[in-house]
Amino acid sequence: MRDSSSAWVIPIIRSCSSQEKVPAFLKGLRYVSFEDDHLYEGNYYELLRDLHDQSKLPPLGNNPFENSTDISDRVDGIIQVKRSLSSSTSDSGRVRFNYISNSGVHVFGSGLHEFRTHWSDRGSESVYAYSDGVKAIAHADPSFDADSINLELLDFSSRVRALKPDEHAIWVNAHGRILVTKLIGITVESDQVKWAEVEYKNLNVIT
């Protein structure tokens, strides 16, 4: 420590029950805490910003809606917009997405709480939900209560589940987090636009 610049030292706190988060020889240095998984993404961004000596957000990229003579650029812009519309980063809420767009992928949450869910068409009254992109998926009827979940009573053995309105899908990701989605309804506009309205909640449970 005597022979190095303290500017290159950023203590990272992952699990510390003590009031003193850093040892005595690191006192006076600003540290970044990763103790709260709910704040993981924001703290990770803060760390990256420090490492790259950036005090503000980088400038915006190119506008994907601008006219371009390059077909590849225009297609990339369309894909970027579709992907941005196929993600919901909060821990709970209600979302409406086109479940046959973006290869049927809709992302819920972020960081350790990210669930890359896959969906496909099953007619005007129901949809398919797949375990592709997550560790496992289970089905539950409308009476399911997310506040008193019992994993032992759920069947996670199948890759695909058929969901009708008011039915639930329970997803488990690779980090052992649980997401509950409830299908509210389906609206079919055309062969390329089919909306699923879904309520979702991240239970913040480690299995």
Task: Please write the tens of the pLDDT for every residue from 146-167.
Answer: 888 888 899 999 999 999 999 9
Strand partners, 200: 93, 181
Q: What is the DSSP string of 156-195?
A: ---SEEEE-TT-EEEEE-TTS-EEEEEEEEEEE-SSS-EE
The CA distance from 178 to 165, in Å, is 20
pLDDT reading at 136 higher than 60: yes
CA-closest candidate to residue 185, choices 164, 161, 160: 164
Spatial separation of the C-alpha atoms in residues 139 and 62, rounded to whole Å: 42
Out of 5-9, 82-86, 115-119, 147-151, pick the least confident.
Answer: 82-86
By C-alpha distance, which of 111, 65, 64 is closest to 90? 111
Distance CA 140, CA 182 (A): 9
CA distance linking residue 147 with residue 178, whole number of Å: 12
Q: Highest mean pLDDT range out of 21-25, 72-76, 144-148? A: 144-148
What local confidence, expressed as pLDDT, does residue 13 receive? 86
**Average pLDDT value for residue range 94-114:** 87
Q: In which band, very low, low, confident or very high, does the pLDDT at 25 lie, cut at 50, 70 and 90?
A: confident
Q: Which has the higher per-residue pLDDT, 180 or 189?
A: 180
The answer to whether 154 and 172 are in contact (CB under 8 A) is no
From the CB of residue 169, how many other CB atoms can be counted at a distance below 10 Å? Answer: 25
- Distance in angstroms (rounded) separating the CA atoms of residues 10 and 32: 7
What confidence score (pLDDT) does residue 75 get? 66
Higher local confidence (pLDDT), 70 or 121: 121
pTM of the predicted structure, to 2 decimals: 0.60
Residue-level pLDDT at 204: 65
The pLDDT score that the predictor gives to residue 207 is 44
Q: Are 202 and 177 in contact (CB under 8 A)?
A: yes
Instruction: Return the ∠ at Cα 137 (arms to 109 and 101), rounded to 5°.
Output: 60
Identify the H or E element spanning 73. helix 71-84
Per-residue pLDDT at 36 exceeds 60: yes
More confident residue, 54 or 34: 34
Angle among Cα 172, 207, 106 to the nearest 5 degrees reads 15
Query: What gap in Å lies between CA 120 and CA 136, rounded to an integer?
Result: 17
Contact residues for 192 (Cβ-Cβ < 8 A; gap 6+): 100, 101
